[in-house]
Amino acid sequence: MLSRTGRPLAQVLFGPIARACVKAGISADAITIIGTCATVILSLTLLPTNHLVIGAILIAVVVIFDNLDGQIARLTGTASPWGAFLDSTLDRIADGAIFAGLLAWAYLHASEATKPWLLISLLAALVLGSVVPYARARAESVGVDAAVGIAERADRIVIIGLSTILVGAGLSEWILVIAASYLTLASCVTIVQRMACVWREKKNPATGETVEE
């Protein structure tokens, strides 16, 4: 939901930066690629080495600035299916790196009491979280805009980021277990919501049969 409600605010906050990037000749694709590389490097170096607070903060900064690519594309008139494809694909890589870094941290540094629960919940959140954008992409491939759900990318990043900071600051590791478990459940709900959206749009009410594309 944050992906939709936060877009107007992001346009106001990062509009000047986007215009500065355009003047400097920085393309939207360059921002997308640089942001993904930075996220992967930070996730796979700081998180596994138990630098949770600084790691989560720096990752959050990079992810926030990743909003610039869309604004730059619109300002330069270079928005295209290729740009959307690149952004979506690299987002999946960045998200995977974040959860991989947390899984490595849990394996190396978590207490014995929480380690199994962390590994299970984080892995489930990673797998089901990757299905959420896939469900939307498949919906769009059959002509349905399934931009619905309670666990879009921004929601997942904010929740896992805040819980990581809290655990890194010395609070209970169960906070991260609860956060990852919630993301798992929310991803399941979002997947079902998107499946229901496609079913409503593509089910022929007269015959009860799916409409062929």
State the catalytic residues. Answer: 91
Give the C-alpha distances (Å, rounded to integers) separating 192 from 122, 178, 196, 197: 20, 21, 6, 9
What's the rounded Cα separation, in Å, for the pair 67 and 15?
A: 10
- CA angle 109/115/120 to nearest 5° reads 130
**Is the distance from CB of 164 to CB of 104 less than 8 angstroms?**
no
- CA angle 37/179/187 to nearest 5° reads 75
**Element spanning 63, H or E:** helix 52-65
